Structure 1
Amino acid sequence: MNFGQAVSSVLNNYATFSGRAPRSEYWWWVLFSIVLNWITAFLDTALFGTFALVHFGDASYVGAVDVFTPISTIVGLLLILPSLAVGARRFHDMDRTGWWLLIGLTGIGALVIFFWFMIKGTPGTNHYGRDPLE
């Protein structure tokens, strides 16, 4: 599966949590998401500049957010559901339930998921459907 096919597949299965996703689909989607986030961050900076969202008197509050990012925020929100769906389908490819995504909420769990997603899926048919590489 190439870059265009992977992005198209994920967007066509926007909120589909059933079925299986091969490694290539998942990792091309990750690359697409990263590049899109860079582009939207650049657009936000070019269009809106940078400014502090929190002010305290004449000076910005310590720890204030220095960038206004409406485009990045909207795109990020739009990418959450397909990212979760392709992650669940990636787990299905390894014959695991998509609920394993919840371990990503822990620090070490995110590393475990990272390494699991590099492993080849179950060959042939499993509980979640036929092998997407067949």
Structure 2
Amino acid sequence: MNWYLEVLKKYAVFSGRARRKEYWMFVLFHAIAIVVLAVVDFAVGTFPLIYGLYGLATFLPALGVTIRRLHDTDRSGWFIFIGAIPLVGFIILLVFLAGEGKPEENKHGVNPKFVAAA
């Protein structure tokens, strides 16, 4: 849960790097929240109000952590648009996001894995 809150604290930060753990823990809690809010929204009869407001509120943090994750693999944030390619784009983007970050410092900053350990 702390990883999710840390990403929300960096609400619209698109610079720097994000570890795999930071990204995937955010994705996990984000997906759980979306499912829970969609169920609550249906139960209350207001779908897509609560679900939509949550999606709108978390759009920038989700975009930011995805771009920072791409930076960790030494790719530009513009690679996020590769996901728009039909059929294979999502798979390519998923491979980029799941790959290990560069262990050395790159043009986007120092390795966050070593900064967190220090």
TM-score for both structures, normalised by structure 1: 0.80
Higher mean C-alpha deviation, range 105-114 or range 21-30: 105-114
Gaps of 5+ in 1: 50-67
Q: What are the Cα deviations for residues 8-51 of structure 1, in whole angstroms up to 9, with x where unaligned? A: 221111100000001001111111111001111111111117xx
Q: What are the Cα deviations for residues 73-112 of structure 1, in whole angstroms up to 9, with x where unaligned? A: 1101111111110010001001111010011122311110
Residues 1:122 and 2:93 aligned together: no
- Counterpart amino acid of 2:50? I
Alignment partners' CA distance in 2, 1:100 and 1:94: 11
Equivalent in the alignment of 2:11: 14
The 5 A counterparts of 1:52-67 are none
The 5 A counterparts of 1:104-115 are 104-107=83-86, 108-115=88-95
Dislocated runs of 4+, deviation >3 Å: none
- Counterpart amino acid of 1:109? G
Alignment partners' CA distance in 1, 2:73 and 2:25: 18
- Counterpart amino acid of 2:24? W
The 5 A counterparts of 1:48-87 are 48=45, 68-87=47-66
Gaps of 5+ in 2: none
- Counterpart amino acid of 2:63? L
Aligned Cα root-mean-square deviation (Å): 1.1
Larger Rg: 1
TM-score for both structures, normalised by structure 2: 0.90
